[in-house]
């Protein structure tokens, strides 16, 4: 039976939970995905049948989410809704903005300390090493760690886990091109609603939860995700956690409200998405991107604020909404951490901190934790 907390999470996030394998031809070209359990057929990516099924599941999840979040007071929508194709493209742009420091800061820490991190995580070099990445996205930073792993072991496997098959495909292509010697075992899975079930591994597993993705979850959700992950690891395995740190308010606000308005477009894209996918008639020009620093909860909050009194309907969800001027929809939290907060979170779920690496300003931390 699901606990009520798990049930709430399950309602909030997409639920496409199949284990998949990537197929390649003899030249290593990506041919398609198959379910692990039925690893018998070659499927061309372009004709990947379950796309319809995935679309239907997404529409169902979107419908449930607007029926929950837009009727509630205060109104809210879950941040997974940002990431359709356009939202993912906008997010990639955000990661390159001068104001958005987390991505390049984390990349610089990885570039400087990848060998030290791998050495700390992988004590017995004679054993195979498996890197399992939650929310792999395009795996653009992961190659730095995989390269370091290949410097100490010639048996390295990479298990990217992501709810989005397109992102996984890109991750696999990126890694396969740069590091063809890495064995790839991608898993399409929403690790929030469907806890990971890793195959037993005769070697060391290093779980990666980087990109400060943990920051988009409440402390309770973060604990649940890490506890589930912890349950899949064995003595000697480790977790590398990336966290954005509390810092001055101006820097934090600028990172989520850039001068070029890309983060604003990313936030407003949720309304365009509802127009495209659920027959809504939001006029995005009548909403504005609002960002605030909640110092009590230690988090950046993103909201969409109605600039006027207006009516909106979402036909496919049978919703008629009335917005008052300045009424908001809360779309994202991005929690920021302190050293004590990271330690508390990790020890609460059964990990022991083994090492931390930071940039010179202390803006971002990578923490290596092992099973306590």
Where do contacts with ligand AVI occur on this chain (CB under 6 A)?
94, 102, 211-213, 215-216, 256, 263, 332, 334
Report in angstroms how near the CB of residue 305 gets to ligand AVI at its nearest: 16
Beta carbons of 362 and 110 less than 8 angstroms apart: no
Nearby residues of 57 by Cβ (< 8 Å), 6 or more positions away? 14, 15, 16
CA distance 18 to 34: 10
The beta strand positions in the chain, using DSSP E, are 20-24, 30-35, 75-76, 129-134, 156-162, 183-184, 187-188, 204-209, 238-244, 287-294, 299-306, 310-314, 319-323, 328-335, 351-358, 364-371
**165 vs 215 by CB, closer to ligand AVI:** 215
Q: Which two tokens stand for residue 283?
A: 């006029």
Max distance between CA atoms of the chain, in angstroms, equals 66
CA distance 115 to 204: 16
Report in angstroms how near the CB of residue 122 gets to ligand AVI at its nearest: 26
Report in angstroms how near the CB of residue 245 gets to ligand AVI at its nearest: 12
**19 vs 243 by CB, closer to ligand AVI:** 243
**148 vs 210 by CB, closer to ligand AVI:** 210
DSSP code string of 140-151: TTHHHHHHHHHH
**69 vs 215 by CB, closer to ligand AVI:** 215
Report in angstroms how near the CB of residue 352 gets to ligand AVI at its nearest: 25
Q: Which two tokens stand for residue 269?
A: 């894209």
Beta carbons of 236 and 244 less than 8 angstroms apart: no
Report in angstroms how near the CB of residue 359 gets to ligand AVI at its nearest: 16
**22 vs 246 by CB, closer to ligand AVI:** 246
**213 vs 223 by CB, closer to ligand AVI:** 213
Report in angstroms how near the CB of residue 251 gets to ligand AVI at its nearest: 13
Minimal CB distance residue for ligand AVI: 334
């Amino acid at each position: 039976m699901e606990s009520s907390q798990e049930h709430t999470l399950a309602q909030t996030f997409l639920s496409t939970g199949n284990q998949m394998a990537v197929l390649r031809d003899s030249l290593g070209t990506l041919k398609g995905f198959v379910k692990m359990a039925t690893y018998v057929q070659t499927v061309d990516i372009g004709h990947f049948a379950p796309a319809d099924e995935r679309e239907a599941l997404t529409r169902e999840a979107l419908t449930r989410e607007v029926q929950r979040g837009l009727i509630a007071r205060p109104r809210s929508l879950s941040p997974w809704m940002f990431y359709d194709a356009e939202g993912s493209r906008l997010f990639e742009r955000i990661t390159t903005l001068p104001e958005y420091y987390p991505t390049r800061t984390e990349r610089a820490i990885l570039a400087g300390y990848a060998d030290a991190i791998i050495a700390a995580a992988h004590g017995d070099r004679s054993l195979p090493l498996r890197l399992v990445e939650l929310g792999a996205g395009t795996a653009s930073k992961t190659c730095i760690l995989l390269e370091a792993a290949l410097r100490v072991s010639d048996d390295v496997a990479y298990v990217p886990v992501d709810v989005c098959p397109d992102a996984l495909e890109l991750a696999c292509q990126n890694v396969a091109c740069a590091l063809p010697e890495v064995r790839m075992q991608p898993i399409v899975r929403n690790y929030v609603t469907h806890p990971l079930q890793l195959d037993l591994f005769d070697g060391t597993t290093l779980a990666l939860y980087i990109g400060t993705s943990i920051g988009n979850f409440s402390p309770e959700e973060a604990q649940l995700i890490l506890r589930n992950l912890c349950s899949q690891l064995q003595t000697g395995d480790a977790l590398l956690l990336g966290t954005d740190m509390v810092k001055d308010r101006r820097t934090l606000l600028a990172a989520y409200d850039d001068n070029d308005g890309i983060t604003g477009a990313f936030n407003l894209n949720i309304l365009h998405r509802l127009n495209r996918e659920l027959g809504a008639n939001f006029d995005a020009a009548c909403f504005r991107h609002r960002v605030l620093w909640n110092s009590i909860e230690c988090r950046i909050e993103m909201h969409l604020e109605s600039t006027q009194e207006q009516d909106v309907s979402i036909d496919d969800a049978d919703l008629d909404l009335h917005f008052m001027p300045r009424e908001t929809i809360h779309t994202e939290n991005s929690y920021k951490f302190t050293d004590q907060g990271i330690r508390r979170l990790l020890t609460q779920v059964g990990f022991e901190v083994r090492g931390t690496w930071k940039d010179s300003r202390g803006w971002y931390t990578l923490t290596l934790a092992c099973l306590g």
